[in-house]
Amino acid sequence: MTSPREHWSRVQTIATKLHADGCTGVPDLWFRVCCYEHDICYRTGRTFDGWAVSRWQADKRLRHCMYEASPLGRFSILAWVYWLGVRLLAKAAYKGEL
């Protein structure tokens, strides 16, 4: 089992190789690693560890990651705002097949 630090280090390494840009068009704030993981899912249709992921699942993972990263947890309105923006505006960016 990997530590959270190792997990996010792997995510950042893969995101860098894919030229991920983090939270596109909005401030990254506490969410940069969450957005990197989301970028991986959108650009490959897979999680960073190779599991197939649908657009809905990728977006849900993003929101949950943002809850964890936010100082306000589930009460973070920003997690919902970013999630809604992705749901409404990012469909064309998803490259997966599910």
Q: What is the pTM of this model?
A: 0.86
Is 4 a residue whose pLDDT tops 60?
Answer: yes
User: Hunting for tokens 């657009």 — which residue is that?
Assistant: 55
Q: Which residues of 63-77 are buried (b: 16+ CB within 10 A; e: fewer)?
A: bebbbebbeeeeebe
* Cβ proximity of 84 and 90 under 8 Å: no
> Within a 10 A sphere around the Cβ of 59, how many other Cβ atoms?
21
98 domain residue, yes or no? no
77 domain residue, yes or no? yes
26 domain residue, yes or no? yes
How many domains does the structure of the chain reveal?
Answer: 1
64 domain residue, yes or no? yes
pLDDT of residue 45: 93
DSSP states along 22-43: SSTTS--TT-HHHHHHHHHHHH
Domain that holds residue 81: 4-93
Residue 46: strand pairing partners: 52
Write out pLDDT tens, residues 39-53. Answer: 999 999 998 888 999
Is 37 a residue whose pLDDT tops 90?
Answer: yes
